[in-house]
């Protein structure tokens, strides 16, 4: 279950609000990702069906975060603990 979202655009999209200002060509994929993150119980096992999302743990200053590829350098990242997702963010990873 999603508990906290850092990125304002992701939060507005998740809450069904307008003005989320995310790239139009990425919105559907991001919505799908948010739905799967919200229903996830085990990470990364619950994402095995979504190979193109390339789920992987991050290192360095983002250690403890998981990353999903949206498009090119854009990622949705999140922390996951006991069936809850925290600190969701949308970043240009590289």
Q: Which long-range contacts (CB under 8 A, 24 or more apart) does 23-27 make?
A: 23/71, 23/74, 25/71, 26/70, 26/71, 26/74
* Rounded (to 5) percent helix, strand, coil in the chain: 30, 30, 40
Q: How far apart are CA 58 and CA 29, in angstroms?
A: 21
Active site residue 7: no
Candidates 7, 56, 84, 94; catalytic one: 94
Known catalytic residues are 94
């Amino acid at each position: 279950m999603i508990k906290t979202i850092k990125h304002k655009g992701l939060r507005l999209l998740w809450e069904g609000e307008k003005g989320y200002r995310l790239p139009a060509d990425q919105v559907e994929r991001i919505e799908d990702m948010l739905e799967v993150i919200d229903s996830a119980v085990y990470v990364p096992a619950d994402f095995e069906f979504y190979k193109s999302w390339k789920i992987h743990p991050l290192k360095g200053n983002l250690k403890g975060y998981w990353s999903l590829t949206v498009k090119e350098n854009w990622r949705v990242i999140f922390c996951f603990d006991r069936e809850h997702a925290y600190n969701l963010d949308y970043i240009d990873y590289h």
